Amino acid sequence: MALTGRRLRGRVYLFANPSRGVDKVWLFLDEPSSPGSPYRVTNSHASDALHAGLDGTAWVLDTTRLGNGPHTLTAVLDLTDGTTATARASFIIANPVKPVSTTRAPTTTATTRATERSEPTGPRVLFGIGPEATAARRAWLVRQAPVRMLSSWYNGPDDLDWMAGWKSTEVPRAYANGYALHLIVFSGDAEGPITTPHGEACGRGYPLSGRFLDDMRRLARIFAGPAGGPRLYVSLFTEFQTYPCSDNAWNADPAATAYYRALKDRYRSTQAIFHQLAPNARVSLSWGGWQARWDDRATGAGRSLFRHFADVLRASDFQSFQAMATDSNTGDIRAMVRTLGAYGPVMLAHYKPDNGSGAVFAADLRTILTDRYLAEVTRDGLFAMSFMDDTNLAAPGDLYELVRRAVRRYARVPA
> What is the CATH number that goes with domain 126-410?
3.20.20.80
Long-range contacts of 338-342 (CB under 8 A, 24+ apart): 338/292, 338/380, 338/381, 339/292, 339/303, 339/306, 340/287, 340/306, 340/313, 340/381, 341/380, 341/381, 341/382, 342/381
Q: Phi and psi dihedrals of 189, rounded to 5?
A: -75, 175
pTM of the model: 0.74
* Tens digits of residue pLDDT in 385-398: 999 999 999 878 99
* Tens digits of residue pLDDT in 362-371: 999 999 999 9
Q: List the chain residues with pLDDT less than 70.
A: 1-3, 12-60, 65, 76-85, 97-121, 415
CATH fold for domain 7-96: Immunoglobulin-like (2.60.40)
CATH 3.20.20.80 in the chain, residues?
A: 126-410
CATH 2.60.40.10 in the chain, residues?
A: 7-96
Question: What is the Cα–Cα distance from 126 to 147, expressed in whole angstroms?
Answer: 7
Is the backbone peptide bond immediately before 353 cis, with ω within 30 degrees of 0?
A: no
Long-range contacts of 302-308 (CB under 8 A, 24+ apart): 302/248, 303/339, 304/250, 305/241, 305/248, 305/249, 305/250, 306/339, 306/340, 308/250, 308/260
* Tens digits of residue pLDDT in 30-77: 654 444 444 444 443 322 323 333 333 455 677 776 777 777 777 766
